[in-house]
Amino acid sequence: MGTLLMTGASRGLGRAAAERLLRTQPDQHLLLLVRGTNGHRLAAELAERTGNRKVSAVPCDLASLADVRAAVTEIERQLDAGELPALDGFLGNAGLQLTSTTRSTAEGFEVTFGVNVLANYLLLRLLAGRFVAPARIVVVGSDAHFGDLRHNLVLVPAPHWTSVTELTTPRPGGVRDGRRAYATSKLGVLYLVHALARRLPEGVDIYTYNPGFVPGTGLARDADPVSRLAMRTVMHAMRATPIGMGPEAAGVLLADTFTGPRPGDSGSYVDRGKVAPSSAESYDETREEELWAAAAKLCDLD
């Protein structure tokens, strides 16, 4: 019996994954990080739907590193008080895809990179010593990081990696810039996972998970009306293609990958349940270590 910490369980594939975990892992406590005051309501809804009452929530806005720190403090308090069983899993499903690069986090970082990369970095840095082996960490990535026709049908521009200082700075930009920032942040997730895989103790595995193209997750809720209509109509038809999947099926597969047999070596890229190579650009230890050092500085850590 242990505690699985999860972000992004409110809707789409994350909601489906949370329900699947509660139904198939009755001895596991599911702890949700939820923005604002909606966490207890979400936990109650999940308990009602699944019949499993071992679900609770801690408030946390991932667009605020101060909120992340406060959430970790509360999680540690509950662990130390015996209110939660030992931490043995993390499922980082929360992510943003916006239509600009002008918005910022509470600390002033470009919000896509701030939520998709820095929030995961800070959470996992602060909680790294709390995981009890055997433990599994999964951070949801995207095949958008490939930036090619085969993987994203040119719907998302290819990532453009520069200095972490530049990537975390809000800047003028429209829809394509916002989508490029998303692809770049998902490349950053891979760099973060690789760096953590070299640092986590034996028995604590970490993976990047690609769910594929999943219309209906709410990822495009910041898009213009035409794009949202396309996601609801034409894009939904792509669920029947090899690159598409509905939120329910994608969530079930994500949950089963998390709880099933060890997918592969720690640091691997898991593509819809199977270990596969990520892009050639994603294997760059120099960038990985530069990101690690820069994120530590931005988050005021050693």
Check whether 237 has a pLDDT greater than 50: no
Check whether 52 has a pLDDT greater than 60: yes
CA distance 144 to 183: 5
- In tens, the pLDDT along 71-106 reads 999 999 999 999 999 999 999 999 999 999 999 999
Q: Are 157 and 176 in contact (CB under 8 A)?
A: yes
CA distance 184 to 141: 11
Question: Mean pLDDT over residues 208-234, rounded?
Answer: 61
* Angle of CA points 194, 151, 256, to nearest 5°: 60
- Determine what percent of the chain is predicted with pLDDT higher than 90: 84
Name residues whose C-beta falls within 8 Å of residue 105's C-beta, 6 or more positions apart in sequence. 63, 64, 65, 111, 114, 115, 118
Check whether 230 has a pLDDT greater than 70: no
Question: Mean pLDDT over residues 123-141, rounded?
Answer: 98
pLDDT band for position 234 (cuts 50, 70, 90): very low
Radius of gyration of the chain (CA): 18
Name residues whose C-beta falls within 8 Å of residue 52's C-beta, 6 or more positions apart in sequence. 22, 23, 26, 30, 46
Cα dihedral across residues 182, 183, 184, 189: positive or negative:
positive
Question: Mean pLDDT over residues 252-259, rounded?
Answer: 95
Check whether 227 has a pLDDT greater than 70: no
With both helix axes pointing from N to C terminus, report the angle between 175-197 and 285-298 in degrees, rounded to the nearest 10: 100
CA distance 96 to 115: 7
* Mode of pairing for the β-strands spanning 131-140 and 3-7: unpaired
CA distance 110 to 127: 24
Between residues 219 and 212, which one has the greater pLDDT?
212
CATH of the domain at 273: 3.40.50.720
- In tens, the pLDDT along 27-44 reads 999 999 999 999 999 999
* Domain count across the chain: 1
Question: What residue numbers bound the domain in which 99 lies?
Answer: 3-298
Q: Are 183 and 144 in contact (CB under 8 A)?
A: yes
The whole-number pLDDT of residue 222 equals 54
Q: Are 32 and 8 in contact (CB under 8 A)?
A: no
CA distance 162 to 276: 26
- In tens, the pLDDT along 271-295 reads 999 999 999 999 999 999 999 999 9
Cα dihedral across residues 249, 250, 251, 254: positive or negative:
positive
